[in-house]
């Protein structure tokens, strides 16, 4: 624990340094003390030996032992007299007879060479450390002897012990101070490191809001500054990434096209709301959900598989069952690294397809519708030219057929013209305030004769005096078409009821007949151009197949809507609904 923390390591290092310092202090100081003691002993003995040597020169051999004992007690040292051949002549502490030859002792050898010999050694005789000093001397009748003094070195041990004790005391104080200083320095140091560590930890956890002191000029200050700079860069990068992500999210969310991203295993990694909405999936989709669980559309799955396998973008038009069989133009492309998946953009072309179909149908229909009356006109004209002109019985009949077909072609041309005019105009003609009652009355008057011929009664029910904004000729055209149909597709003795009323600030014109009705499945298509439920009946009764298309266009141009309800064999109700201008003031409701 201690060794794993920086504080512990620093303290341990300080401790080791202190011990090394103390060890070396002990080593050098004890050696110094010992040397000093030895030198001191040598100096002392040198002084004494120089006093004793002249005295010895007067001592005869016979009394040398006594002299030695006296000299020893005087000088408080062991005194030994050695002959030149190393034989001990006298010793203050031992019987010379028991002592070995001293001729090879280093101090004796030096003295024999005429110098002052000194040595420190353990005395084999006394078994203590002794400091020896020997000089050449002489006895009264024997000139060449060695005078040796020796003092035990017990004092050295005492001095060393004293020095050691001093060192220990000094070391304790110094160690304590050093440890305290090391502790405070390293604590301040580790606190800073901890702050840097926690700041770096926050960066790892993507929290870039933390703060750190960066003013220190040392290495830690520079580490802190680097980290601070890194955090600032990360924060800026994160901000840019999140801006970019929200921009992308907004773009994808506002796209009408469905966007789908899958991984290499066809698991959905992303889809936008348009896609989820189209395939009826609830957002947000579970992470990594297999595409198959959302869209069981083999064509889409195959397309993505092929894109992933080849790495080539592909485009295909397909109907997707999960999206109510709507038709999509799907553009699929691999990601940069195709092993990471692919992306598909689904463009809903159902409406486009419908329009294309309507356009094709329109062209086919118009050619078809023109061909029949034209063929008839041409056929009868040829017959007349081929001689039938002289045929008094039939020529009038033929001419009537030609005439009715020409009328039909004319009607068709004017209906088409009316439609294309409405489609082409950018600005509708100026709107006027129309009295619905007047327009209804005029329309009824126009069709009255036809109604009588077909034995159909027109009953104006409640016709309020409503006012709407629009163009009179157009509203009348639309109403005439509705009334024509109501008469033409009626049964003999049937009725056509016309109402005009308002509610919720909407004006409604309702035309109800008791005719043949319209099959339910045909209802959504009857407003298309040239659409007839029963072609033969429509043509026979002078229809062009454009009447309801004009009704729809007119109402929508005037800001209204047209709806139909019908029961087969019972009759149909067409309702035109416009924003009402309100009834004219002072004109009460009245039945017409």
Judged by CB, which is closer to ligand ADP: 528, or 581? Answer: 528
Decide: is 199 part of the binding site for ligand ADP (CB under 6 A).
Answer: no
Judged by CB, which is closer to ligand ADP: 102, or 408? Answer: 408
Site string for ligand ADP, 386-425 (x = CB under 6 A): ----------------------------------------
Task: Tell me which of 369, 513, 577, 581 binds ligand ADP, using CB under 6 A.
Answer: 513
Decide: is 512 part of the binding site for ligand ADP (CB under 6 A).
Answer: no
CB of 569 to ligand ADP, least distance (A): 10
Decide: is 531 part of the binding site for ligand ADP (CB under 6 A).
Answer: yes
CB of 314 to ligand ADP, least distance (A): 42
Judged by CB, which is closer to ligand ADP: 395, or 573? Answer: 573
Decide: is 259 part of the binding site for ligand ADP (CB under 6 A).
Answer: no
- The C-alpha atoms of residue 324 and residue 417 are separated, in whole angstroms, by 36
Kindly identify the residues of this chain, within the stretch 128-187, that bind ligand ADP according to CB under 6 A.
none
Decide: is 485 part of the binding site for ligand ADP (CB under 6 A).
Answer: yes
Decide: is 533 part of the binding site for ligand ADP (CB under 6 A).
Answer: yes
Sheet arrangement for strand 342-348: 268-271, 258-262, 342-348, 326-334, 314-320
Decide: is 366 part of the binding site for ligand ADP (CB under 6 A).
Answer: no
CA-derived radius of gyration, the chain:
65
Instruction: Report CA torsion sign: 579, 584, 590, 592.
Output: negative
Judged by CB, which is closer to ligand ADP: 241, or 407? Answer: 407
Decide: is 515 part of the binding site for ligand ADP (CB under 6 A).
Answer: yes
Task: Tell me which of 512, 514, 572, 575 binds ligand ADP, using CB under 6 A.
Answer: 572
Mutual angle of helices 154-204 and 6-56, in 10-degree steps: 170
DSSP string, 13-32: HHHHHHHHHHHHHHHHHHHH
Judged by CB, which is closer to ligand ADP: 317, or 452? Answer: 452
Residue 292 near residue 285, CB atoms below 8 Å: no
Task: Tell me which of 26, 273, 534, 592 binds ligand ADP, using CB under 6 A.
Answer: 534
Judged by CB, which is closer to ligand ADP: 192, or 497? Answer: 497
Q: What token pair was written down for 38? A: 């030895």
Q: Which stretch binds ligand ADP (CB under 6 A): 86-94, 206-214, 305-313, 530-538?
A: 530-538
Judged by CB, which is closer to ligand ADP: 357, or 397? Answer: 357
Distance from chain centroid for Cα 336: 18
Size of the site for ligand ADP (CB under 6 A): 23
Closest by CA to 469, choosing from 506, 443, 504, is 506
Of the chain, the end-to-end C-alpha distance in Å amounts to 107
Residue 423 near residue 459, CB atoms below 8 Å: no
Mutual angle of helices 350-385 and 395-424, in 10-degree steps: 150
Q: Hey, which residues does 146 pair with through a beta bridge?
A: 82, 136
User: What is the DSSP pairing of strand 88-91 with strand 78-83?
Assistant: antiparallel
Decide: is 514 part of the binding site for ligand ADP (CB under 6 A).
Answer: no
Decide: is 373 part of the binding site for ligand ADP (CB under 6 A).
Answer: no
- The C-alpha atoms of residue 315 and residue 307 are separated, in whole angstroms, by 10
Decide: is 538 part of the binding site for ligand ADP (CB under 6 A).
Answer: yes
Q: What token pair was written down for 497? A: 């009821």
Kindly identify the residues of this chain, within the stretch 541-570, that bind ligand ADP according to CB under 6 A.
543-549
Judged by CB, which is closer to ligand ADP: 92, or 538? Answer: 538
In degrees, rounded to 5, the angle at the alpha carbon of residue 271 between the alpha carbons of residues 266 and 273 is 150
Judged by CB, which is closer to ligand ADP: 107, or 369? Answer: 369
Decide: is 518 part of the binding site for ligand ADP (CB under 6 A).
Answer: yes
Q: What token pair was written down for 150? A: 């020796």
Q: Which stretch binds ligand ADP (CB under 6 A): 43-51, 201-209, 448-456, 538-546?
A: 538-546
- The C-alpha atoms of residue 86 and residue 68 are separated, in whole angstroms, by 17
Judged by CB, which is closer to ligand ADP: 326, or 477? Answer: 477
DSSP state of 373: H
Q: What token pair was written down for 554? A: 């007119």
State the residues that interact with ligand ADP by CB under 6 A: 481, 485-486, 489, 513, 515-518, 526, 531-534, 538, 543-549, 572
């Amino acid at each position: 624990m201690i060794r794993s923390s920086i504080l512990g390591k620093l303290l341990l290092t300080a401790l080791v340094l202190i011990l090394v310092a103390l060890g070396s202090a002990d080593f050098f100081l004890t050696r110094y003390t010992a040397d000093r003691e030895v030198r001191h002993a040598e100096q002392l003995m040198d002084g004494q030996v120089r006093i004793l040597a002249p005295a010895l020169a007067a001592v005869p051999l016979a009394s040398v032992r006594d002299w030695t004992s006296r000299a020893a007690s005087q000088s408080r040292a062991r005194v030994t007299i050695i002959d030149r051949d190393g034989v001990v002549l006298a010793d203050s502490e031992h019987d010379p007879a028991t002592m070995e030859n001293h001729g090879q002792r280093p101090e004796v050898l030096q003295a024999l060479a005429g110098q002052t010999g000194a040595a420190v050694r353990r005395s084999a005789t006394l078994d203590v450390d002794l400091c020896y000093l020997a000089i050449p001397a002489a006895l009264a009748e024997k000139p060449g002897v060695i005078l040796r003094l020796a003092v035990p070195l017990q004092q050295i041990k005492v001095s060393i012990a004293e020095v050691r004790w001093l060192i220990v005391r000094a070391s304790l104080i110094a160690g304590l101070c050093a440890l305290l200083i090391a502790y405070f320095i390293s604590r301040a140091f580790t606190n800073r490191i901890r702050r840097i560590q926690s700041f770096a930890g926050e960066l790892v956890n993507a929290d870039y809001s933390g703060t750190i002191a960066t003013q220190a000029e040392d290495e830690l200050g520079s580490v802190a500054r680097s980290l601070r700079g890194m955090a600032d860069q990360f924060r800026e990068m994160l901000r840019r990434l999140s801006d970019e992500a929200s921009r992308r999210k907004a773009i994808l969310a506002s796209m009408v096209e469905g966007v789908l991203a899958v991984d290499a295993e066809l698991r959905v990694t992303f889809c936008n709301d348009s896609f989820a909405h189209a395939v009826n999936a609830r957002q947000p989709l579970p992470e990594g959900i297999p595409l198959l669980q959302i869209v069981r559309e083999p064509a889409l799955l195959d397309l993505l598989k092929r894109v992933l396998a080849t790495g080539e973008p592909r485009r295909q038009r397909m109907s997707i069952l999960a999206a109510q069989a709507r038709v999509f133009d799907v553009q699929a492309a691999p990601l940069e690294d195709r092993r990471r998946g692919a992306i598909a953009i689904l463009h809903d072309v159902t409406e486009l397809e419908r329009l294309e179909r309507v356009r094709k149908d329109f062209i086919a229909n118009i050619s078809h519708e023109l061909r029949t009356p034209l063929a008839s006109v041409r056929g009868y004209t040829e017959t007349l030219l081929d001689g039938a002109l002289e045929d008094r019985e039939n020529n009038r009949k033929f001419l009537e057929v030609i005439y009715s077909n020409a009328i039909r072609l004319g009607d068709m041309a004017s209906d088409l013209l009316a439609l294309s005019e409405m489609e082409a105009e950018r600005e509708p003609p100026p709107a006027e305030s129309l009295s619905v009652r007047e327009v209804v009355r005029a329309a009824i008057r126009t069709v009255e004769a036809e109604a009588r011929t077909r034995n159909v009664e027109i009953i104006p029910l409640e016709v309020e005096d409503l006012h709407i904004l629009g163009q009179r000729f157009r509203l009348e055209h639309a109403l005439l078409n509705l009334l024509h149909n109501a008469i033409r597709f009626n049964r003999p003795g049937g009725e056509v009821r016309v109402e005009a009323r308002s509610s919720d600030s909407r004006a409604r014109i309702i035309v109800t007949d008791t005719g043949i009705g319209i099959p339910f499945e045909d209802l959504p298509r009857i407003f298309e151009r040239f659409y007839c439920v029963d072609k033969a009946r429509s043509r026979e009764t002078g229809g062009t197949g454009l009447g309801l298309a004009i009704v729809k266009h007119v109402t929508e141009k005037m800001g209204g809507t047209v709806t139909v309800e019908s029961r087969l064999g019972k009759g149909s109700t067409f309702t035109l609904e416009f924003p009402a201008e309100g009834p004219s003031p002072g004109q009460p409701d009245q039945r017409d």
